[in-house]
Structure 1
Amino acid sequence: MKIRVTYLTVFMLNILVSSVYATTFTLLTEELPPYSIRGNGSETGASIDIVSQLFERAGFDYEIIIVPWKRAMRMSLSDENTCIFPMQRNQEREATYHWISPILITQTGFYTRKDSPHKLVTIDDAKGLIIGTYNGSAVAEYLTSWGYDVRITPRDAPNIHKLMKNRIDVWAADTLSAKYLADKHKITNMKEQLVYFSTLRALACNTKVAEIKVNKLRQELKLMYTDGTIEAIISKYK
């Protein structure tokens, strides 16, 4: 009888573990080149490549969907087996997700036209200027909380054109995104004035995601840093 119970217990545990790993994750991100680039059925970008590799190495099924950031945040908080990336990790959000971090470490800078009369040596020099950034950005939240004049767009890409048309004085942008968009649109009348903000970008998963899955993803992410996978992916988009 004891042997049968032992076999039954092992059998049930195997079924439980298999069911945990069989779930398909929904992975949400926004269109934010070069981190996430919408394609014809084949989305790419630095963060998409990293997260895809992470889930493949962990052995989890997944689908990646590009949606507006506010919708992604709502879905990630309400839907089981759903994660959002690349989420800027901060104290206010800490308790609302399981964090697999960092998938990226990014920097934000102030960009102006080359012929701008404004000199930005410190962040205080941007006070009184019109600053463009995008919805959902931790930088937007930070600057707004300190009384800066921030104009927010649904996506970041239009801000480079607003800057060129003098509709904003300063563009607060991720340094990799700014370079990518300037190269893509062949914009040369833009300069980086000040890099002032570093951010840990994470994969943030709904709190109902099983702990065994979260730990597996964290373990695989560490290995991706150790074996150079993360560095190799990011270097493709610089």
Structure 2
Amino acid sequence: MCFKWCVLCCLGFIFSLNAASVIVYTEPNPPFNFREKGMIQGLGFDLLEASMISLRSKIAQDEIYLGTWKEVYKEALDHPNTFLISTTKIKEREPYFQWIGPIATVRLGVIAKRGTDIPKGHSTIEILRPLKIATVKETSSEKVLFNEIGENHNLNITRVSTPAQGYKMLEYGRVDALIYTDVPFVYYLISEGQDVSQYKMVHVLLNTDYYIAAGKSVPKEQIQIMQAQLNHLKEPDGKGGSSMYDRIMANYLKGVVLQP
């Protein structure tokens, strides 16, 4: 009886997903979510589909909405039977979603070129005060920074609309440091053929994780199934090798990390 109920529940969940015109909201944030050759794809989608493997077929392109973070976050809240990827689980967001993950561990912090003169200091304000800084509007890294330094900081901050703008400003020396997340930054450098070792994370604002954020109307039983399948991905294979999760990550990041 229990098995029959579980199967019916799964089928009901699949129907609810297929009935929706959009089931996944996301923003451009390579390698987790991005559009390439007309296709929306990325690490976040690979892991979302893997967590759903026993529930439904692959996610179709017309079931995905790619937009600005501010836009997709609002849409996900307004449509509680959908998913939002890839999402930092910060305190202000926790009550509004169910969380599946983590799908990746990331560092939010101050990124600079090696050779940049970075002041010594115990606080973020002391480190950043003499620097020209770029932040990306409405991102988790910017929110964490502003929560820490407050409104009356008197720092030289340029707020840009997209990560690519911030990357280029740092690359061309228009700013001394970029406030952003390490994994997307590393992926950008790899994609551009740049040497990751020429950059460093000089100050960490927050060590955190990316998750699949599920709307409150997604049945809890399905959240449990997806979490179990994601956990299984992280288990080493039977021959003592790397896990499927590690192999998926390596497809995008080649094992490279941003060093201090």
TM-score, reference length from structure 1: 0.82
Structure 2 CA distance, aligned partners of 1:101 and 1:136?
A: 22
Note if 1:136 corresponds to 2:138.
Answer: yes
Q: Aligned-pair distance for 1:75? A: 0.8
Please tell me whether the aligned partners of residues 134 and 166 of structure 2 are also in contact (alpha carbons under 8 angstroms): yes
Larger mean CA deviation between 160-169 and 138-147 belongs to: 160-169
Residue 160 (structure 1) aligned with residue 157 (structure 2): no
Deviates more, 1:123-132 or 1:225-234: 123-132
65-74 or 223-232: bigger deviation: 223-232
Matches within 5 A, 1:180-219: 180-187=187-194, 190-196=198-204, 197-219=206-228
Mapped contact 2:141–2:181 kept (Cα < 8 A): no
State the alpha-carbon separation in 2 of the partners of residues 125 and 112 from structure 1.
12
Question: Contact 1:78–1:206 (CA<8 Å) still a contact in 2?
Answer: no
Match of 1:173 among 180, 184, 191: 180
Q: Deviations over 1:32-75 (max 9, x none)?
A: 12222312243332222211222224436643332211111001
For 1:75, give the aligned amino acid.
Answer: E
Q: Quote the offset at 1:27 in angstroms.
A: 1.2
Aligned length: 230
Q: Assess, with a 3 A threshold, how the Cα gap between structure 1 residues 58 and 126 changes in structure 2: closer, same or farther.
A: farther
SS in 2 for 1:131: strand
Gaps of 5+ in 1: 1-5
Q: Mapping of 1:1-238 within 5 angstroms?
A: 18-24=11-17, 26-59=23-56, 62=59, 63-119=63-119, 123=124, 124-147=126-149, 149=155, 150-187=157-194, 190-196=198-204, 197-227=206-236, 228-238=243-253
Distance 1:49 1:121 in 2: 40
Are the equivalent residues in 1 in contact too, given 2:111–2:203 (CA < 8 A)?
A: no
Distance in 2 separating the partners of 1:11 and 1:176: 42
Residue 84 of structure 1: how far off its partner (Å) = 0.6
For the 8 Å contact 1:31–1:38, the answer to whether it is kept is yes
For 1:214 and 1:53, locate their aligned partners in 2 and report how far apart those are by CA, in whole Å: 13
Q: 2: distance between equivalents of 1:109 and 1:44?
A: 26
CA distance in 2, matches of 1:77, 1:176: 26
What does residue 3 of structure 1 align with? none
Separation (CA, whole Å) in 2 of partners of 1:114 and 1:215 = 44
CA-based RMSD of the aligned residues comes to: 3.0
Q: Could you tell me which amino acid in structure 2 is paired with residue 104 of structure 1? A: A
Q: Select the structure of larger CA radius of gyration.
A: 1
- The SS at the match of 2:252 is coil
Cα distance in 2, alignment partners of residues 235 and 17 from structure 1: 31
Percent identity, aligned pairs only, is 17
Deviations 1:5-56 (Å, cap 9, x if unpaired)?
x9xxx99997665323322261122111222231224333222221122222
Residues 170-201 of structure 1, C-alpha deviations (whole Å, 9 max, x = no match): 11232222222223334569521425132111
Query: Which whole-Å CA distance do the structure 2 matches of 1:219 and 1:13 have between them?
Result: 15
Q: Give secondary structure in 2 for the equivalent of 1:43.
A: strand
